[in-house]
Amino acid sequence: MIVDRTNTIIKENKIHAKKMFGQNFLKDKNVLLDIIKASNLSKDDCVIEIGPGLGALTELLCLNSGKVLCYEIDDNLAKELPNRLKKYDNYVIYNQDFLKCDIKKDIESYFGYDKRIKVVANIPYNITTPIIFKLLEINNITHMTLMVQKELAYRFSSDEGNKEHGSITAYLKYLGMTNIYRIVDRSCFEPVPNVDSAVFTFERNDKNINNDFLDFLRIVFAQKRKNLFNNLKGIYGLEKDAILNILSKKEIETSVRAEQLNSDELYDLFFSIKALTPKKLKAYAKVNLILNVLGKFDNGYHNLEMLNTKIDLYDEIEIKVYDIDRVEMDKDICEEKDNLVFKAIKMLKEHYDVKNNYLVKIKKNIPNGAGLAGGSSDAATVIKAILKNENIKYDINELYELTKVLGADIPFCLQDRKCIVRGIGEKIIPIKNDKEYQMILAFAPLSFETKRIFAEFDKIDSKRNNKPKINEFEDVIKNYEMFNNDLEKVCIKLHPEYKLNEIKMISMSYGAKASQMTGSGSSCYALFELQDENIEKCLTELKSKISGYSFSTYKTISY
Ligand code: SAM
């Protein structure tokens, strides 16, 4: 076995261990066997090893698991390794810095999508924490067995009340179970380091990483000599009394230090504080690049087919936990009870376990009745914020079904990329190969009523066929002829003063890829490639020729 030959390999290959890469090679077989035992490996397991070095651990990983993916930063070690692992064909070595790799992509291409992964490694001590944080980002990594410096292992696995208990301890315990499998004496390595080590294990639970909680932990543990109350004062813009109130409700003494609370108690405190802190969100406008009406369902709704994008025009939303549910707008658009956001909160409470009430303040920037789905976007943004705040797991298709009856654009607005949208608006196909554009939006001094536009459309257009016309986004962008809005002719018929055709003509003469009305009007867009400088000239011409309309440029966005 390679481990029995560690010293010989070092001598024969004249290897000078590099301190900057934390190179201390294992030479104790029993320690290696314990690492394998702690990892509970089987032939079905996919394993990542960071820093295979001479390959002592890699050999045992190849023997005891299904597939092994190794990252080795040292060019010479990475080059030599295959010579020592000739017997095995179930591993790959990526000669690169683990901290710089695209781990998600590597996992998908080597192990396949959605595989559960274990990380087993004797890692370089100088970058232990960044390695662990990078690994925590990947939900599929369900287990880690890591050789780390003894003191760090104590810190990672200490319980509350111990002085080692810190922000990273609480965060690890929030995301899983930590344990020290065994202590490893420094004499088990070559060259001998000046610290002892420990085999540390971590079993991940199904919680997602939570950077807000991590920030909170860093704040409450920032000054360990200060008590919790003093560390909390002044953060999140909370008044002293608000913090005292939360602590007293939870029966936490103001003199308590963060290290005295366990990770559940800290999360509970974080959750209450966060709930009181207003969250600022952006609700982006929607543009229908294509809108085809394929037919009508028996229930009266229209069967649509759309290609939708979001653009960087948005309403500003502030949301926080409150005594009652309340929606306030800076513009007087409708009564609170008729507001889509208010209806959306009501719907959420009927179908999900929403425990709190919410105050939502909306600053409207997206014009009403312009075909830009301002109201739907506000509702979708608030729905997502509440579900996140309440930690509610939901099925997205079920949410599409529940929201489509409130507003046909809400399902799309719950998404964050371009989509092909079908049915009433609930069949959502996010676009994989996303491409961004810039556009001019023309805002007409007219407001069209969607219901009336569709009613009129039904009168004049009876020869519709139900066949879908959009297949793949890739096909569509090769063929801008497909860009269409079936409702335009009705809008022009009902509003002969609508200057849609003039806007289209000017835009196309400046090389716009397409120019169409969005939704049931009244705004329309002129679409340009991102690098096309003609957009500015086109904008100037539109502003000078089309009076009474306003024009602005935006970019399409996916986030
Ligand atoms: N696994 C071997 C063993 O147990 O004998 C070697 C462990 S040694 C403590 C750490 C290994 O990590 C070295 O091989 C070193 O070159 C490698 N390494 C250091 N920094 C790295 C990084 N950023 N990315 C990938 N490998 C790294």
pLDDT in tens, 328-339: 998 776 777 789
Going from the Cα of 95 to the center of ligand 1, the distance in angstroms, rounded, reads 11
Evaluate the omega torsion of the peptide bond into residue 191 and state whether it is cis, within 30 degrees of 0: yes
The closest-lying atom of ligand 1 relative to the alpha carbon of residue 51 is 12
Across 29-39, b (16+ Cβ under 10 Å) vs e yields bebbebbbebb
Mutate to test the pocket of ligand 1, among 23, 28, 62, 146 (most ligand atoms within 8 A of CB): 23
Six token digits for residue 116? 């559960």
Going from the Cα of 125 to the center of ligand 1, the distance in angstroms, rounded, reads 9
Q: What is the DSSP string of 415-452?
A: SSS-EEEEETTTEEEE-SS---EEEEEEEPS----HHH
Cβ atoms 311, 557 nearer than 8 A:
yes
Classified as helix, coil or strand, 521 is coil
Cβ atoms 282, 315 nearer than 8 A:
yes
Q: Which residues pair with 184 in a beta bridge?
A: 197
The closest-lying atom of ligand 1 relative to the alpha carbon of residue 23 is 8
Six token digits for residue 490? 């009705």
Crossing angle of helices 396-404/374-389, nearest 10°? 140
Alpha-carbon distance of 315 to 377, in angstroms, equals 8
Cβ atoms 95, 75 nearer than 8 A:
yes
Alpha-carbon distance of 201 to 558, in angstroms, equals 38
Six token digits for residue 190? 């070559």
Straight-line distance from the first to the last Cα atom of the chain, in angstroms, rounded to the nearest whole number: 50
CB within 8 A of 129, min separation 6: which ones? Answer: 152, 168
Six token digits for residue 511? 């090389």
Alpha-carbon distance of 369 to 449, in angstroms, equals 7
Going from the Cα of 82 to the center of ligand 1, the distance in angstroms, rounded, reads 16
Handedness of CA 236, 238, 244, 246 (dihedral sign): negative
Going from the Cα of 108 to the center of ligand 1, the distance in angstroms, rounded, reads 23
Instruction: Choose among 158, 144, 153: nearest CA to 197.
Output: 153
The closest-lying atom of ligand 1 relative to the alpha carbon of residue 125 is 9
Amino acid code (one letter) for 287: V
Predicted confidence at residue 224, as pLDDT, reads 74
Contacts 24+ apart (CB under 8 A), 325-328: 325/357, 325/358, 325/359, 326/357, 326/358, 326/359, 326/360, 327/360, 327/362, 328/359, 328/360, 328/361, 328/362
- Whole-angstrom CA distances from 24 to 197, 257, 555 are 11, 38, 52
Predicted confidence at residue 544, as pLDDT, reads 97
Mutate to test the pocket of ligand 1, among 54, 59, 74 (most ligand atoms within 8 A of CB): 74
Predicted confidence at residue 473, as pLDDT, reads 60
The closest-lying atom of ligand 1 relative to the alpha carbon of residue 52 is 1
C-alpha triplet 485, 486, 491: angle, nearest 5°: 90
Name all domains of the chain by residue range, CATH numbers in brackets.
2-209 (3.40.50.150), 212-274 (1.10.8.100), 279-430 (3.30.230.10), 437-557 (3.30.70.890)
Going from the Cα of 24 to the center of ligand 1, the distance in angstroms, rounded, reads 8
Distance of CA 456 to the CA centre of its chain: 42
Alpha-carbon distance of 490 to 546, in angstroms, equals 21
Tell me whether strands 419-423 and 117-122 are parallel, antiparallel or unpaired. unpaired
Cβ atoms 507, 440 nearer than 8 A:
yes
Predicted confidence at residue 475, as pLDDT, reads 67
Going from the Cα of 21 to the center of ligand 1, the distance in angstroms, rounded, reads 6
Tell me whether strands 117-122 and 46-50 are parallel, antiparallel or unpaired. parallel
Instruction: Choose among 552, 517, 307: nearest CA to 438.
Output: 552
CB within 8 A of 306, min separation 6: which ones? Answer: 288, 289, 290, 291, 292, 412, 420, 421, 422, 425
Predicted confidence at residue 406, as pLDDT, reads 93
Going from the Cα of 218 to the center of ligand 1, the distance in angstroms, rounded, reads 28
Q: Which residues pair with 118 in a beta bridge?
A: 47, 143
Lining ligand 1 with CB less than 6 A are 21-26, 50-54, 56-57, 71-74, 77, 97-99, 122, 124, 127
Mutate to test the pocket of ligand 1, among 13, 25, 49 (most ligand atoms within 8 A of CB): 25
pLDDT in tens, the chain (559 residues): 999 999 999 999 999 999 999 999 999 999 999 999 999 999 999 999 999 999 999 999 999 999 999 999 999 999 999 999 999 999 999 999 999 999 999 999 999 888 899 999 999 999 999 999 999 999 999 999 999 999 999 999 998 888 888 999 999 999 999 999 999 999 999 999 999 999 999 999 989 899 989 999 998 888 877 888 888 876 766 778 888 888 998 899 988 999 999 999 999 999 888 877 788 999 999 999 999 999 888 888 899 999 999 999 999 999 988 889 999 998 776 777 789 999 999 999 999 999 888 999 999 999 988 899 999 999 999 999 999 888 888 999 999 999 999 999 999 999 988 899 999 999 999 887 668 999 999 999 998 888 999 999 998 876 666 677 777 666 666 778 889 999 999 999 999 999 999 999 999 999 999 999 999 989 999 999 999 999 999 999 999 999 999 999 999 998 7
Classified as helix, coil or strand, 231 is helix
Instruction: Choose among 138, 110, 124: nearest CA to 46.
Output: 110
Tell me whether strands 419-423 and 357-363 are parallel, antiparallel or unpaired. unpaired
Amino acid code (one letter) for 213: F
Alpha-carbon distance of 21 to 131, in angstroms, equals 13
Farthest CA pair distance, the chain? 90
Predicted confidence at residue 134, as pLDDT, reads 97
